Structure 1
Amino acid sequence: MKNIFSPIEQIDNLDAKVIAGIERLATLFKSSLQDTAKRYKLTPLQAQLLIFIAEHSTKLCSVTMLAKEFSVTKATASDSLKTLVNKSYIEKVYNPDDARAFSFVIVDIAKPMVNELTHFGLLMSSSLSSLNENELIQLCHLNLKMLNIFSQSGLITCRMCYSCQYYQQKNGGFYCHLMKKELPAKALRLDCPEHLKSS
């Protein structure tokens, strides 16, 4: 394969078109987040860390877990988290069973800022209003399948149905053994709080 970002290569190469399209969406995502983050003198990573910590349990918000979540080194994650602590946007919570272990939680005064940081997601969501429900379900399903491939290869971290012990393909559909019910395609999760990685 030649350079997938070459318009000539993309003419007859579906892989190149898909990858180039994802790259454009990633650019839109990053620039939209960066515009808001700049107003608070935050880097895009610091903004992403704040958003994640605000919406997830402390067990997922240690330095190690956050570095894995955002595919950065522990040192890079630690530096960004230290800055957020110094700005009083987050604080450490120590594990009562291990004095050396700690996670991070959002501070109340930072919550309005986090709401503003997530506003770009609403803008992107409104852009999907021209798609009907079936198109959105199909897009979501393909997105999950693609992310699952990258997750299985260890490139990213996802707490999705496909990689969960509770998930099963059943009767041509999907079934969750935790909730003990069949799931329609649109109910499949990308980031499930009850996710238990399959062995």
Structure 2
Amino acid sequence: MLWIGMYIALASLVCILAMVAELVHGFRSRMLWFPSKYFSINSASLTVISVAMKLPVDLTGSMPGYVDQMAKLGSMAFMCTMMANLLPSLGTMESNELLSNLAAVSVQVITLVVNVCIQMQTGAVSISTHKEDPRIIQLTSPTHISTHPNPVLPFIYVVLFVFLLIVYICSSLAILKD
């Protein structure tokens, strides 16, 4: 399990470094937008993003601990950030490349949304609403799964994923060239 965590952390670090490089490049060239030089939608970036999104789409483990739940929610926030930063790269693509990358992003986002919805329904992703500190509950009962799920934050992320996907699709339709 340690190697998987290191693998996910490395993939996330690569995405973060690419987004920071875009930010620095944009500020240095005095652009009011993030150029798509280092972090754009292509097969390599989509592979790294799918590795970084392993935690929220993992249906095999309940991950009941407080830190585990925060890792899942943090991964979902990270995916929203990456989708927002990848949006300007749509304008630099040709029609065929745009359609294939949009299809890949759509499959990835729909898979993420469905898995998070399944986890919200089963209570695998939630925030504990107990009055006690959830970390203490985890230490005293490592097999504890919250019986009081609070799916508000994961629901907000699901809505944001769907909204960003709609923005991607509408932008792609506007950008398509004959």
Greater CA radius of gyration, 1 or 2?
1
**TM-score of the aligned structures, taking structure 1 as reference length:** 0.22
More helix, by proportion: 2
**TM-score of the aligned structures, taking structure 2 as reference length:** 0.24
